[in-house]
Amino acid sequence: MPWLDDYEARLAGAESAPSGLTSTINAVRRGSAKRLEARARQIVYGMVRHGTTTLEAKSGYGMDDTGELKILRVQAKLREAPLDIVSTFLCPRSIPAAYGGDAAGYIAWICSELLPKIRRKGLARFADFVCDEQVFSPEQSRRYLETARGLGFALKVHAGQFRGSGGVQLAVALNAVSADHLDYAGRNDVDLLARSNMIAVLLPGSAFYLGTGRYAPARALIDEGAAVALATNFNPGTSPTYNMQMVVALACARLGMSPAEALCAATFNAAYAIGCGNLAGSLEVGKAGDLIVLNAADYREIPYHFGVNLVRMTVKRGAIIYKEGAVSGRL
């Protein structure tokens, strides 16, 4: 659900307004799976209209096993209808009241009970962890990620969105697939990413929406040889957009990327960041026929027309799943 009160409070100068997070957690835990699926399907269809054919979806708002499994099961029901959806279990970013602030006990339960259950049921491919927030200690962060890796999850790490956190070093040490955000990535982080096989997933929509003025060092990452991907980071609190064309425009205007670099990051590299590089991200023999047709004569028009939806047609596995409709001249 939209965090409209939080949004208005932030515009008025409030430093934090957590009511949206609380309401979302309550809505997920108390609402029916059918209602959650209906809302999620509306969002997916909006993404289709803006040219998305494959996406990653995260859990993390359910807090307990019932809530987290509900989210992941809804994601499973949405797969291939009409998009390919890759599921990620995101370790919750707060501690339920039932644990009384016991971070160690909560992480122990996630590692011993919830992660194995999700893996047995095949509900998620990736396990993700937010290293920026000081909810869990570095030791607890490492325990979570090492447990997930041992169970067979591929790893992702949120790092450097609001501060330097050491998340990149941890991600590299544990051979994560990607490190995401990186707005506060320093010189050492850039060097580590450039020497690794990880993908740096940049999310300029969040910095733009929150007005932080701090963007990831895309130019340094690319120049040093790191693989850079782009994504919307669609969520109600920090980036409520599913327009990847706008993200490409921000990458050019704020991250110093060329249109060609930004498009590669939004397609080919993005597919590899979610384990789909063998199926999507480019038009090659053996891959699914995923493509979009644009109302544009030149690919550079995508970032040039910022915020404009240029998609005329979205094609998934060779079938048209969205076609732009005519505008009526009648009043």
Q: pLDDT band at 164, cuts 50/70/90?
A: confident
What superfamily in CATH does domain 24-289 come from?
Metal-dependent hydrolases (3.20.20.140)
Which of these ranges, 10-14, 44-48, 192-196, has the smallest mean pLDDT?
10-14
Q: pLDDT band at 109, cuts 50/70/90?
A: very high
Q: Would you say residue 17 has pLDDT above 60?
A: no
Taking residues 123-147, report their average pLDDT.
Answer: 92
Distance CA 259, CA 265 (A): 10
Amino acid 165: pLDDT = 75
Q: What is the DSSP string of 93-152?
A: SS--GGGTT-HHHHHHHIIIIIHHHHHHHT--SEEEEE-SSTTS-HHHHHHHHHHHHHHT
Taking residues 39-68, report their average pLDDT.
Answer: 95
Distance CA 252, CA 265 (A): 11
Q: Would you say residue 126 has pLDDT above 80?
A: yes
CA distances from 292 to 48, 320, 323 (A): 10, 9, 10
The pLDDT tens digits of the residues spanning 271-328 come to 999 999 999 999 999 999 999 999 999 999 999 999 999 999 999 999 999 999 988 8
Q: Would you say residue 234 has pLDDT above 70?
A: yes
Amino acid 3: pLDDT = 84
Give me the residue spans of the domains in the chain.
24-289
Q: Would you say residue 18 has pLDDT above 70?
A: no
Taking residues 31-36, report their average pLDDT.
Answer: 91
* Cβ-contact 151, 115 below 8 angstroms: yes
Longest dimension (CA), the chain: 64
The pLDDT tens digits of the residues spanning 237-248 come to 899 999 999 999
* Cβ-contact 176, 142 below 8 angstroms: no
Taking residues 107-114, report their average pLDDT.
Answer: 97
Amino acid 331: pLDDT = 62
Amino acid 182: pLDDT = 97
Q: Would you say residue 78 has pLDDT above 80?
A: yes
Taking residues 87-104, report their average pLDDT.
Answer: 93
Tell the residue number behind the tokens 């309401």, with chain if given. 23
Q: Would you say residue 16 has pLDDT above 80?
A: no
Q: Quote the percentage of the chain above a pLDDT of 70.
A: 98
**What's this model's pTM, rounded to 2 decimal places?**
0.94
Taking residues 255-261, report their average pLDDT.
Answer: 98
Considering only residues 240 and 135, tell me which one the structure prediction assigns the higher pLDDT. 240
The pLDDT tens digits of the residues spanning 200-215 come to 999 999 999 999 999 9
E-strand ranges in 18-63 read 54-58
Taking residues 244-257, report their average pLDDT.
Answer: 98
